[in-house]
Amino acid sequence: MAAMRQQLAAQRLSAIAAEIESVGTVASGAAGEPGLSSAITGCCSDGAATVRAMNVTVGGLATNLEGAAGLYTTTDLSAMPGS
């Protein structure tokens, strides 16, 4: 259950990163001045990269939680048969 929630959070982060880039593209095009346009693009690219890094971290956490849950279940069944 916890692993599934973490995976859903990772998917949301991926969508947020894509949205940041999309907004950056639109805002950059509307800026009307090359320096400002470049600054907006850079800021949004950096923000999206940060959110993608969080996505990777949260996705890894989901994988680790799923593996740990399986190991704990196996350990519990070995320690307390019939539980």
pLDDT tens across 22-78, in order? Answer: 999 999 999 999 999 999 999 999 999 999 999 999 999 888 888 888 888 888 778
In a domain, 51, yes or no: yes
Considering its fold, how many domains does the chain have in total? 1
**Phi/psi of residue 77, nearest 5 degrees:** -65, -35
The domain in which residue 42 lies consists of: 23-66
Instruction: Examine residue 72 and state whether it is found in any structural domain, yes or no.
Output: no
Q: Encoding tokens for residue 10?
A: 């990772």
pLDDT at 83: 61
DSSP H or E run through 72: helix 34-79
Residue 29 lies in a domain: yes
The one-character DSSP state at 33 is: S
pTM of the predicted protein model = 0.76
More confident residue, 2 or 14: 14
